[in-house]
Amino acid sequence: MRRLLLYLDKIALVACVLLFLGIAVWAALRFRQVDEIGRMAAASVGSPAKHEPQFAQTPTIAQVSWPEPAAQSQGREWVFDTFTPPVLYYDPVQKTFTVTPPVVREVAPVVAETPFEVELVSVRQEPYRIQLKGYSGTEAAYTAHLEVIDTGETVLGRPGQVFPEARGNFAVRSFEVRRITTTSEGSMPVVENVAFAVILDSRTGREVTLTNREPLMLPRLQCVLRTRVFPAEEHALREGMKITVNGYDYTVMQLSMNPAQAVVSRKKPSEFVGETRTLIPVGESPMARLAPVSPGQRDNSIDSPVVSLFANSRHSPLRR
């Protein structure tokens, strides 16, 4: 076994020596080829030649006349040169392309007119703030039914009774029921019971006589307005008074009875100039259904307290 191993080692050593000798012979042959190629390249190059410049000949340019550009099928204005890029515009009105700039007219935006939100129901004389609506009870103990116009409340009062500011701010001085005979031409006399109440107006310190036959009216005028938003709600206003509807202040500027009309201005609080319109009545209102005002049942001063009706008058038709 040991001899076999020695034998194999010798064989391997011989093989390595032979391989090394073969590689050396192959390398020597390749180096010789490289040297021959180098000598051949040097021989082919030789010494550099002298540079001789050569001038290019001027080319002959032919004279060509280009034809005038012809109009296209879109119109006579649609003319373009060969090397000129086309310039096109879009007309938003005609919704087409064009070679000329379109004339765009600035249209002012349509501003919707704000409707006048109030309408006139009636123009009348302003009623006194306390009215005698009727009475109840027996002859020895009548109770007066008095309406406070500002609040719409009806209070029941007897002589000596005082009502605070919240309920009218007045006191009942006296109350009586008289039988009044009314005669007219061509008819029989009519006898009716008419109630009279004398109150003390605590705001003015004056006595006022009221009757349930007709309301006591002041000489100054008053209009009844209602809004289009809430037509069932009505507002009694004098000259200079206002109401606010949808951000606008509606102010009563002037009132007249003949013809019945109201001049009302409208403007926002931030505006200096508003719109003014003359309104005429649009229909009858329950608030305007007061009896006609007679000359005897009317206050003769706008600012002064209401005077007593028929006081100290020898010619009063109600004196007996």
Report whether pLDDT(152) > 60. Answer: yes
Q: Of residues 233 and 310, which shows the higher confidence score?
A: 233
Distances (CA, A) of 221 to 45, 122, 209, 253: 130, 11, 21, 12
Residue 161 DSSP code:
-
Strands 153-157, 217-227: pairing kind = unpaired
Backbone angles phi, psi at 247, to 5 degrees: 85, 0
Q: What is the pLDDT of residue 131?
A: 95
C-beta of residue 239 within 8 angstroms of C-beta of residue 221: yes
User: CA-CA distance, 89 to 143, in Å (whole number)?
Assistant: 91
Which tens digits make up the pLDDT trace of 44-92?
Answer: 665 566 777 887 888 888 887 777 777 777 777 777 666 777 777 777 7
User: CA-CA distance, 226 to 233, in Å (whole number)?
Assistant: 6
Report whether pLDDT(299) > 50. Answer: no
Supply the Cα-derived Rg of the chain in whole angstroms: 59
Distances (CA, A) of 8 to 5, 17, 22, 59: 5, 14, 21, 86
Q: What is the pLDDT of residue 36?
A: 76
User: CA-CA distance, 237 to 274, in Å (whole number)?
Assistant: 19
Place of tokens 């609506």: 133
